[in-house]
Structure 1
Amino acid sequence: MKIIAMIPARYSASRFPGKLMKDLGGKSVILRTYEAALNTQLFDEVFVVTDSEIISKHIEDAGGKVLMSQKDHECGSDRIAEAVEFIDTDIVINVQGDEPFIDAVSLSKLIDVFQEDKIKEIDLASLKVEITDKDEIENPNNVKVITNQLGFALYFSRSVIPFHRDKQLDVKYYKHKGVYAFRKQALIDFYHMDLTPLEASEKIEAIRYLEVGKKIKMVETTIESVGIDTPEDLEKAKKYLNSL
């Protein structure tokens, strides 16, 4: 089974433009993410996929592999689907460019999902981590996920889900970590679909897969990383890096 990692890297992020090129302990955010993916030694190849000449040159100068997007894209899945359509591979891992602290243990769990799926019923796998802090749960920048009893995603939302109406019951909240593993065909199918209504409303690409009937297996991890969506997140990332 051939497995590759794709890191979508858009320069003009709406909430924090140029964030992937910001300094994080002497290296850019995107370079740290690329090196972290390489250092897991889980992949046959690792690529940065970008629409930015700045990011492309930066990664190439560091000796990395880059694929340039030929079209404008609204989400990372579309960007890597265009890049991977004619690449020979079985599984594609989408590592978010603003997740520089992704770990080999969590990535291995995603790969195991497909190695154990003998009947090939799973289209995607992704990560979730339990959150307990009220501000984290209510933060719309944190995408929450709920699953069925077999661990398949039911829905993703920026709102608080589930709603804790019965306070006598314990409720767990899970944040969706922006790392996906796809069967290649599921990714290509996504690429050729139109934007779906709920996806458009929430601005969460994973919802498109659910709306068209794809099965997403959620894998719990206890290893929390620092995703960088805002300047404040970058400062948190710097503190986290210093603590390692």
Structure 2
Amino acid sequence: MISGVEKSSKMKVVGIIPARYHSTRLPGKPLRRLAGKILIQRVYENAARCRLLDDLLVATDDERIRDAVQEFGGKAVMTPADLPSGSDRCAFVAQTLEAEIIADIQGDEPFLDIGVLEQAIRLLRSDPEVNIVTAARTGITSEELADPNVVKVLLDKNRNAL
């Protein structure tokens, strides 16, 4: 999800990657290894390829994640442990920033298509009527439709999320 306010040609864009250690489905997921690097590092390094981000932060409530991010050279910000979701973690950090556009980059998506992220940022910069963008795809399988772990977006006839 990406949101923006106060449109201008010099809008500051900050990417925030929420990451928590105590995942219900896979505890410690951000620190799990994927091809020799921890997952949060893979996500961070991939997101850092986005040419339109002015800054990139990991928002976490866990010192182990913060320390790991700092160890590979990333930036991390601590958030309260009682925040119920990654979006809440992003909103908490966003309130402390001077940025016109915030990109909420999922902490478990190491293969995010940076072109999609850049397209969303460009849309927010160019259209004063657009205040929030969420990337979604069409054509999910019946297995994905039945899977509670696959996020779905219901759209109206104008392609607005309901």
TM-score, length of structure 2 as denominator length:
0.88
- Output the CA distance in 2 between the equivalents of 1:86 and 1:134: 42
Q: Which residue of 2 aligns with 1:135?
A: 143
The alignment status of 1:18 with 2:15, answered yes or no, reads: no
Measured against aligned partners, the alpha-carbon deviations of 1:38-78 in whole angstroms (never above 9, x if no partner) come to 01222000000101111100010111111011352001121
Count of aligned residue pairs for this structure pair: 152
- Output the CA distance in 1 between the equivalents of 2:86 and 2:122: 23
SS at match of 1:77: helix
The alignment status of 1:45 with 2:55, answered yes or no, reads: yes
Structure with larger Rg: 1
- Output the CA distance in 1 between the equivalents of 2:116 and 2:145: 22
Between the two structures, name the one with larger relative contact order (CA 8 Å, sep ≥ 6): 2
SS at match of 1:112: helix
- Checking the alignment, whether the CA contact within 8 Å between 1:42 and 1:104 is kept in structure 2 is no
Q: How does 1:72-91 map to 2 (within 5 A)?
A: 72-91=82-101
Higher helix share: 1
Q: Identify unmatched segments of 5+ residues in structure 1.
A: 155-244
Measured against aligned partners, the alpha-carbon deviations of 1:73-114 in whole angstroms (never above 9, x if no partner) come to 001121121112121000000001001111221001211221
Q: Which runs of 4+ in 1 moved over 3 A?
A: none
Q: 2:109 aligns with which of 99, 104, 124?
A: 99
Percent of matched pairs sharing the same residue: 37
Higher strand share: 1
- Output the CA distance in 2 between the equivalents of 1:71 and 1:32: 23
Structure 1 residue 123: deviation in Å? 2.8
- Checking the alignment, whether the CA contact within 8 Å between 1:40 and 1:103 is kept in structure 2 is no
Say if 1:83 and 1:140 are closer, same or farther in 2 by CA, change over 3 A: same
